Amino acid sequence: MLQFASTKIVTKAKPIETLAESAFLHLPLSAYHGHFAHPVVQAGDMVLKYQLIAKAGDPFSANVHAPVSGRVVGVQKFPDCGGGMTSMLVLQNDFAGACIDFPAIPSDDPPADTILDLLSAAGVIGAGGAQFPTALKYRAAGQHIQAFIINGTECEPYLTADYVLMRERTASLFEGIRLVNTFLQAKEVVIVIEDHNHELLTVFAPYLAQARYAGIRMQVVMEEYPQGSERQIVFAVTGREMAPPLHPSREGFVVSNAGTVVAAYHALAERLPVVNRIVTVSGDGLQQAGNYEVPIGTPVGYLLNQLGITPEHYTIVLGGPMMGRHVTDWASPVTKGSGGILVLPRDPVKRENCIGCSRCVEACPMRLMPLKYDEGWRRSNLAMLKNYQLPVCIECGACEYVCPSNVPLVASIKAGKLLLRKEG
């Protein structure tokens, strides 16, 4: 059983802080698997904070809004942390903070049949990392939803962004749940947290006692990586296994990250688009470790420099250490799905050959054979990758974490999936 609560102690105790804004923001036009938004502004245009600057090109992409006021520099390619290059809209901050005019918002709840449109308009996507458009997820779930599960487990080591969000923005979290459920009409609504965060029970108690939030209940689960993945959390709540071809959404379970629900609150109650996110900056012994709310598009290098960290001296990971991606270009931005930036020592990892110990097989929550993916990828053996069900892998990294030979399993898995996609 993989447990990482000890890595979170320092930043759990820290509040959400802000930093001086960057002069330039790099706003990704693609969120989910290469589906792009199309710019509706041109180089040289002046834009206001919250203004729509790129419109979703299809249901799998998401609207992009200006997190600050300023001048559009244009569209440029930047490294996407996945080893490729991706188009981003570059915005020069004028530091005026001028916002668009919002129309008066009715005090009533938005009608249920407008909820999905409001979420789409605000560019709300999964904040847990996958960045799947939230409106599409809720629409696909259909009408007979057994449970709406709010995922507050945040099982990756070091990350506490969701924890501090739930602790400090509790009212927004509960209102977001209530408003989303006016559309979902789930029979059961459950907020799931891990046992090492049990103090949240006290924080949530005044809300759970209100008639306004009747029907919402808490469930505390034992800490275990990767508890936060959709299938694992449905199993933890319901005891139902969701091994493929079963999928939670098709079985009546909707799982949303706590950060997604707070973003939904801002979209539904305030008509505010997603322009900021909270990231945990952490690493062993890192003095500047904390939780920072920054504009989307803030370059990682700028953020770290603000904290007095020279990124060149470290290994930098965007996301958690298990599922995050190494940052090799400091212009890479914080995205709507970035929960953390890890600052780790630059120890070269000695990679050795597989010794066939099968620890990776025992650690795999999806009951896969990870060692076969390294072999399959190295031999370009597509049949092997398919036969051992590579597409089912959730890229949780548990196999590589336990591997005594440091076989680069996750890199092989990602490369293998790319190979399969190319082959169609």
Per DSSP bridges, beta strands 52-56 and 37-39 are antiparallel
- CA 278 remoteness from chain centre: 11
Contacts of 7 (CB under 8 A, 6+ apart): 157, 158, 282, 284
For 393: left if phi > 0, alpha if psi spans -120 to 50, otherwise beta; the answer is beta
SS (H, E, C) 281-340: EECCCCCCCEEEEEECCCEHHHHHHHCCCCHHHCEEEECCCCCCEEECCCCCECCCCCCE
Percent of residues in the chain assigned helix, strand, coil, to nearest 5: 35, 25, 45
CB 282 to ligand SF4: min, Å: 22
Nearer CB in complex with ligand SF4: 261/368: 368
CB 361 to ligand SF4: min, Å: 7
- The answer to the question of residue 393 lying near ligand SF4 (CB under 6 A) is yes
**What do you get for the CA distance between the two ends of the chain, in Å?**
36
**Residue type at 20?**
A
How many Cβ atoms are within 10 Å of 325's Cβ, its own excluded?
18
- The answer to the question of residue 399 lying near ligand SF4 (CB under 6 A) is yes
Nearer CB in complex with ligand SF4: 306/389: 389
CB 363 to ligand SF4: min, Å: 6
Nearer CB in complex with ligand SF4: 43/355: 355
Among 22, 397, 415, 416, binds ligand SF4 (CB under 6 A): 397
Dump the DSSP string for 261-288.
Answer: HHHHHHHHHS-----EEEEEEE-TT-TT
Q: Segment near ligand SF4 (CB under 6 A), from 47-55, 149-157, 174-182, 405-413?
A: 405-413
Site for ligand SF4 in 44-73 (CB under 6 A): none
Q: Segment near ligand SF4 (CB under 6 A), from 136-144, 207-215, 259-267, 392-400?
A: 392-400
Distances (CA, A) of 338 to 248, 250, 294: 23, 27, 11
- The answer to the question of residue 320 lying near ligand SF4 (CB under 6 A) is no
- The answer to the question of residue 396 lying near ligand SF4 (CB under 6 A) is yes
- Binding residues for ligand SF4, total number by CB under 6 A: 28
Among 165, 275, 403, 415, binds ligand SF4 (CB under 6 A): 403
Q: What is the sign, positive or negative, of the torsion defined by CA atoms of 208, 213, 214, 215? A: negative
CA pair distance 188, 86, nearest whole angstrom: 40
Nearer CB in complex with ligand SF4: 92/405: 405
- CA 191 remoteness from chain centre: 17
CB 29 to ligand SF4: min, Å: 28
- The answer to the question of residue 233 lying near ligand SF4 (CB under 6 A) is no
- The answer to the question of residue 272 lying near ligand SF4 (CB under 6 A) is no
- The answer to the question of residue 155 lying near ligand SF4 (CB under 6 A) is no
Nearer CB in complex with ligand SF4: 358/380: 358
Site for ligand SF4 in 331-370 (CB under 6 A): 354-360, 363-366, 368, 370
CB 278 to ligand SF4: min, Å: 26
Nearer CB in complex with ligand SF4: 275/399: 399
Which two three-digit tokens encode residue 54?
A: 């790129």
Contact (CB, 8 A) for 300 and 342: no
Among 256, 407, 412, 414, binds ligand SF4 (CB under 6 A): 407
Q: Which residues contribute to the site for ligand SF4 (CB under 6 A)?
A: 354-360, 363-366, 368, 370-371, 393-399, 403-405, 407, 409-410, 413
